[in-house]
Structure 1
Amino acid sequence: MLVRELKRLLLFVGPAIFLILLVAKLCGKTLISLPSLTSPFSNGLSSEFQESGTPSNHVGHPFAGYTEGAYHEIFSLSTSDKKYFKIKFPPHRGINPNAIPHPTLESTWIIVSQRHDHSVKDSVWFAELFCNAVFTGEGLSCIEPPLILPIGRTRGHDKCIGNLGYFGFNVGPHDARVFYGPTAPYTVYGSNSQYTCFGQWIQDLRLLTDWPFEFFNEAQFSMPTELQRPEPYGMVEKNYFIFWDRDENVYAHYDIFPKRVFARLSDDGSTGPDLAPKVATGDEKCMNKYMQKLPLENESIHQATNSISITLCKRSDPGCQPDDSNTFILTVFQHKKFYSGHAVYDPYVTLFEQMAPFALYGISTKPFWISGRGMPGEWKDLNGNPSDQTQMIYVTSLSWKKAGQKYHGYIDDVLFVLFGIEDSDTGGIDIMAGDLLADLGLCALL
């Protein structure tokens, strides 16, 4: 365990530390409140690759605790106690899960996670587990023992030097995100880079699993394709997400803070220029309104999930017609706090427009709290000791729950939100999509 922890600490020594944000105080802002579904707007590399912060000697630091009223709580639609459910990969253990509806089987999902039970001590081999899964009394669980997603080693180890030299020995993918685009499923994962030490790659998921026959675009991500980015590169690139505009052109979003970076993506993984400067003035105004800077040490902001497209009215409403005024790209980012040797992640929602140049539309004014997440004193750490911090839940995946639903949905559709738990377990919660958008601060009204 000590060797593995030392390896983890090496992974992010060297890259520049991001500036930090926190949601602004509630005083004086304009919000969308969506809990009731009554109005037109109603209702990575993962934590395994932690940056090495400077641990605080202040055990139970308030930034790592729970404050009443500081969160918007979301509840499961399918569990009797309204708390999250577990995701199981027996006989293996996984972290950082993903799920998408199975293309042909009813009430069945394809689930994927990072394998987290190496049988060889100090192994440098990484793999993603996958299987078909159904709901059981234990949660969402594999029907049969999971298989290994056949993603191999990538080239590029010669650029991992100094404290990052360990990356050069890496074999296999890290922290895959599995998701639907408008027509096809994909996976984005971390692996050795051709352009820097460690990068992000994409591949059509249908060519990696036992997928029913479909025609596919041979030129678009049929083989492992590294996602390039506008320079400069960091030594370790992670947590990219892919999004599609209204016309199904594909883009990659690289950073959300301290400034957004995103660009048009070509089939070979190359990109055009960074488009974010075109909306930087308005985006920064929105961020400054709903977020504030926090201490540079021990805290940071992470992109977290894939993207989905959502129309802010009900599918059940005959007058609800998707257009540029009501349909946006949704993703989750996370505020990381690292105190007393323990990381805590608080998830926030952001929406941006579905047509270039993709200006920010709204940002959560408070993080959402997943029902069942352990509050200080309610859960025990891996050593069996009661913790005085909130339980670490690291959100990794958004997907529509209903069979046949891919990239686009409405606020009255059911959404899966999946997450890793304390780098040792996996969980998920199913909610009405609109419930995720409560307390959304609008950029356009500033």
Structure 2
Amino acid sequence: MTQEPSTPPRTTVFGRGSYSEFLRIGEILRKETVGGILLVTAAVIAIIWANSPVSDSYFALRDFRVGYEPWHLELSLGAWAADGLLAVFFFLVGLELKREFVAGDLRQFSKSIVPVAAAVGGVVVPAVIYALINLTSPETLRGWAIPTATDIAFAVAVLAIIGSHLPSALRIFLLTLAVVDDLLAISIIAIFYTNEIQLGPLLLALIPLAIYTILAQKYRRFFGTKAWAAWVILLPLALVTWALVHASGVHATVAGVLLGFAIPVIRSQASGGPGNGPGLSEIFEHRFRPISAGIAVPVFAFFSAGVAIGGWDGLFSAATDPVAIGIVVALVLGKPAGILGTTWLLTKTTKASLDRSLKWIDVFGVSLLAGIGFTVSLLVAELSFGQGSAHDDHAKIGILAASVLAALLATAVLSTRNRYYRKLHAEEAEDADHDGIPDVYQQDRP
């Protein structure tokens, strides 16, 4: 008798990843939570100061210029925050993305396809919605990329405030989603927001970048256990690369991503083996994550979020500007529609199914959180319209309003599931055999 072939098991979407990935993502999100609270605080201070009786002092501080003009580095403090400090943030974006796809769980196509496709959907749909609303105005259409990014620090700060014990699979999804769409956003900046490229400085930038890459790849061979030697040599090379990219006309934050990509993320490659101490990616992650979350992003938010609203007349002007309307609709409706719609479509067109521990309302809640587009959105708004212009001010008001609205909606949805999330969190923490690894991460072991 011929045996019928068994039906292959369906791929699970948002299944629990490895324990090592759970620990690593948890540590990143804890630091981003603190950074998110600082970011929100800095933005609130900026808005209050910019609309206070001493508002002139805020704008004087933001526009104060410092630097060396012959190297094209005499910039305002606001520009230094956008071009310089955000390069640190995007360095970590490049490092995180490389680690995810080279050494993390997402090196498996079956696990990477969902967050990558969802990120693409979460970029395309908001951009299309904004473009449709501003289709008849070429001047405002330039801001189509403003609602494309997710601010992970702001999002996890919301989770911390509402006390949500979001399951680890959804936390990893949210972080990966934010990192991928940050990369897409910086690619858009490099391609669509570079007006004029100076080939000389751009080609020269390849020289220190190449030396930096070679030294980083052979970290142990060149520097041994002397980590200070790596800092003394690699950091100046990174600064020279950043300065030349800035002088070329390409936005300098692109240099941050390239420098992050150059760092090896596999332990055997980065440090010569697991017994030789932490690799370069771990060292840089440990050193730069607090600088990014605690200084770079909050300072950028402080200089970028300050907008003179102008009372009720100013609010009415912003509310009727298609720039602000397009941003609010794109972030609050377009982001979740793109993310949730793409994820649902993948489950319907492939042999994938949602993990049994989750429901679509959970994915919807995370999709709403992804509508918090703050840091990169503010950056793209300035690149689109120029700092201080009417459309730039209205764009910032739209970004702030959309981020708050998305946060409130996500809070309303996720709070209804908090009791269930606490139950899942308790299960993920249970370690009956006391071996240091929660039991749920050992269930599939032979």
TM-score normalised by the chain length of structure 1: 0.25
Rg larger in 1 or in 2? 2
TM-score normalised by the chain length of structure 2: 0.25
Higher relative contact order (CA 8 A, sep 6+): 2
Q: Of Structure 1 and Structure 2, which has the larger fraction of its residues in strand?
A: 1
